[in-house]
Amino acid sequence: MPQSELNLSDSPTFTTARLVELWCAEPVFFASRELSDTYYTEGAIGNYALAYALGWARAPYRLTGKDTGRPRYREDLTPLAGQHYILPAWPVENSPSYRFERFNALSDAYWYAMTNNRVATAREDLPLKRTGKKPNTYRPSNFPQTGRLRIIDRGNRFQTLVFGEGELPEYIRVGKFTSKVRVDVGEALPVRQLPADTYRCNTYLNSADLPPDLEPFAFDLIAIPPASLLKNLQFHGEAWQIGNFLIPANLEFLGGNSRE
């Protein structure tokens, strides 16, 4: 069918995209799930983390007031609409390999005691504790001090699509431990706009970035913070074809919505 006869919306926001491979030079850890004292990393790298790692956005070094209690993805990422976008990275193999590590942040002091999710090191607080008072060293803490980590092992490879112009760094750092990841950039592929129809996506997607008019039918959900990822999405709507990849059209960070 001639292009002029297709019922297409505006031309694609991006005309090209680059297929990028990420190679984990160091083990990568995200706290995707927490089960008891074990912290699991899912087999994906979120696109918000990648946007910060690529230097597209910078969070303020010091947060004050209400900003200390909430993320700043909307302020940091929605200004990138129409300039840069990246998909969540998916493993090149069917499933990445993992390693387990135990962490232990217990005190090396002569005396310590486990309290309510906290290690107390002030022995002089014991008499206060026995009288029913709660010294500061006995108060609960949100910082885990012992547990196990499931980490993406060194050498795993992931793929993603990067939209927008500009040089990409040779290496980035991602995850809770700012692990080193090599960035191998492929050739630019044209973004072809497809009319509204039923498609099956063969990449990972961020559920918060989907356009509002998309009709999803079925998908596999990867429940991770800050926004769940989707894979094997079947949907009705306009699509972009990039090489062998089919994805929903008009993807933007947080759907391009800069308002709460």
Domain ranges of the chain: 16-103+146-256, 106-143
* pLDDT value of residue 9: 52
Distance CA 15, CA 219 (A): 27
More confident residue, 250 or 108: 250
* pLDDT tens-digit series, residues 207-225: 999 999 999 999 999 999 9
Q: What are phi and psi of 121, to 5 degrees?
A: -120, -10
Evaluate the CA torsion angle 159, 250, 228, 177 in order and state its sign: positive
Is-contact 1 171, C-beta < 8 A? no
| Residue of 208, 200, 221 whose CA lies nearest to 42 | 221
User: What's the number of CA atoms in the CB half-sphere (13 Å) around residue 11?
Assistant: 6
* pLDDT value of residue 7: 47
Joined tokens for residue 29: 């850890």
User: What's the number of CA atoms in the CB half-sphere (13 Å) around residue 221?
Assistant: 10
* pLDDT value of residue 3: 42
Local structure of 74: helix, strand or coil: helix
| Residue of 138, 98, 96, 144 whose CA lies nearest to 115 | 138
The DSSP annotation for 75-91 comes to HHHGGGTTT-EEPPBEE
Task: Give me the mean pLDDT over the 94-100 stretch.
Answer: 92
Distance CA 241, CA 139 (A): 55
**Global model pTM greater than 0.75:** yes
* pLDDT tens-digit series, residues 216-258: 999 999 999 999 999 999 999 999 999 999 999 999 999 877 6
Question: Top-level CATH class of 16-103+146-256?
Answer: alpha beta
* pLDDT value of residue 10: 56
* pLDDT of 153 higher than 70: yes
Is-contact 186 21, C-beta < 8 A? yes
* pLDDT tens-digit series, residues 38-71: 999 999 999 999 999 999 998 777 877 777 778 8
Distance CA 51, CA 254 (A): 13
List the single range of 94-108, 110-124, 166-180, 230-244 with lowest mean pLDDT. Answer: 110-124
Is-contact 239 197, C-beta < 8 A? yes
| Residue of 152, 258, 158, 254 whose CA lies nearest to 210 | 254
Confidence of residue 4 (pLDDT cuts 50, 70, 90): very low
Distance CA 210, CA 255 (A): 6
* pLDDT tens-digit series, residues 197-209: 999 999 999 999 9
| One-letter amino acid of 216 | P
* pLDDT value of residue 257: 73
* pLDDT value of residue 78: 92
Task: Give me the mean pLDDT over the 3-25 stretch.
Answer: 76
Distance CA 20, CA 164 (A): 13
| One-letter amino acid of 205 | L
Instruction: Please report, for residues 145, 189, 210, the alpha-carbon distance to residue 151 in angstroms, rounded to integers and kept in the order given.
Output: 17, 32, 28
Mean of the per-residue pLDDT values for the chain?
88
Task: Give me the mean pLDDT over the 100-127 stretch.
Answer: 76
